[in-house]
Amino acid sequence: MFATPLRDNAELRALEPYHAEEFLAHLDRARTHIAPWVSASFVASDLDGARAVLQRYADGQAADRQRLYGIWLDGALVGGTMFVSFDPALGECEIGCWLEPAAEGHGLVIQVVRMMIDWAFRVRGLSRAEWRTLSGNVRSINVAKRLGMSLDGTLRQSIPGADGLRHDKQVWSVLATEWPGSPDRRGADVKAELDQLTRAFLGAFTNSGGRRPNLEVIREVFIPQGTIIKNVGAEPVIYDLDAFIAPREKILTDGTLTEFSEWEVAERTEIFGSIAHRFSEYRKSGFLNGEWFEGSGRKTVQFVRTPGGWRMSSMAWDDIR
């Protein structure tokens, strides 16, 4: 059994015909949720149909023109990704995905698809990766954007729907020369990825203007073993991700800390191969127990490059007093 760990409780494996029973059980859980967005031929309704879907992709892999992967979360098959098409001669591929609701919001699709594109460009030498989605599929469109893809265009009314109407399909793509790590973009692109990780971390706490904080983002930007250190008092306080997130999520949602935001005002980033360091200055403001406050401080952040892209590995901060 070959598996690629995605985090402590998730892994990626090839999805093969012998998984047919597990695949069908997964489809039964996800059918209503994914049916509007995936091909009708994919959403099998019985065991023979499920086995046929998996066999079709197994045959496609043998011919080097398709591949299918499953994502297991806490030991259960919850979705997957695929090379819908793979054409080494033309140097092109199309990638797709699906997930049942229980697996959404963990950043798993972004991590896996990034790995797939990286393999297609670096190992197989392809030049272009496509992502096709219905114009109304906001989650799928956001995946394309987070992967740095460009919208090539919209195929108007190209897909007949179960509702009897025809729907628009968007075509997104990224080129090998645009991908992180290409000779043309390596330095600038790594810096841009580290910038985005930093913005995502700081933005996770924002609850101003009616916005709801999303501290689960912290699990996406950090490696699972990440460490966060508060060095404000006499002794450092060292957190793992769970210990850091829980109390902050509470005060940001129970009315203790409102209209809060935190933003970077200056930074210095150094990159060396597969590791990087960032020293940044930040400011913050909000209402704490009904009283307005403003503050500032400095953070030091360490980053590591992983198969799924750059991630934070540790952070320490000190407030200016």
The verdict on 28 and 153 lying in the same domain is: yes
- Measured CA to CA, the distance from residue 133 to residue 95 in angstroms comes to 10
Domain boundary among 160, 178, 196: 178
Q: Which residues 6+ apart lie within 8 Å of 109 measured at CB? A: 71, 79, 81, 97, 99, 143
Q: Which has the closest alpha carbon to 125: 152, 95, 151, 87?
A: 87
Using DSSP's 3-state secondary structure scheme, residue 232 falls into coil
The verdict on 30 and 168 lying in the same domain is: yes
- What b/e sequence results for 156-167 when a residue is b if at least 16 CB atoms lie within 10 Å of its CB, and e otherwise? eeeeeeeeeeeb
Helices (H), 173-260: 186-203, 217-221, 241-253
The verdict on 38 and 126 lying in the same domain is: yes
Residue 292 CB burial class (10 angstroms; 0-12, 13-18, ≥19):
exposed
Calculate the alpha carbon distances from 122 to 5, 181, 187, 217, 264 in Å: 20, 9, 17, 28, 34
Say if residues 95 and 81 touch (Cβ distance below 8 Å). yes
The verdict on 164 and 304 lying in the same domain is: no
Say if residues 191 and 180 touch (Cβ distance below 8 Å). no
The verdict on 288 and 214 lying in the same domain is: yes
Domain boundary among 157, 178, 199: 178
pLDDT of 137-182, one tens digit each? Answer: 888 898 899 888 999 999 999 777 767 788 898 999 999 988 876 6
pLDDT given at position 2: 66
The verdict on 18 and 124 lying in the same domain is: yes
pLDDT given at position 216: 92
Residue 285 CB burial class (10 angstroms; 0-12, 13-18, ≥19):
middle
The verdict on 17 and 134 lying in the same domain is: yes
The verdict on 291 and 315 lying in the same domain is: yes
Global confidence as pTM: 0.57
Q: Which residues, given as ranges, of the chain have pLDDT below 70?
A: 1-2, 8, 162, 181-188
DSSP secondary structure code for residue 119 in this structure: I
The verdict on 210 and 294 lying in the same domain is: yes
Which residues does residue 296 pair with via DSSP β-bridges, in sequence order? 283
**How many Cβ atoms are within 10 Å of 79's Cβ, its own excluded?**
25
The verdict on 215 and 162 lying in the same domain is: no
Using DSSP's 3-state secondary structure scheme, residue 158 falls into strand
Domain boundary among 178, 207, 241: 178
Domain of 104: which CATH number?
3.40.630.30
The verdict on 174 and 193 lying in the same domain is: no
The verdict on 285 and 171 lying in the same domain is: no
Domain of 238: which CATH number?
3.10.450.50
Number of domains in the chain: 2
Domain that holds residue 169: 4-178
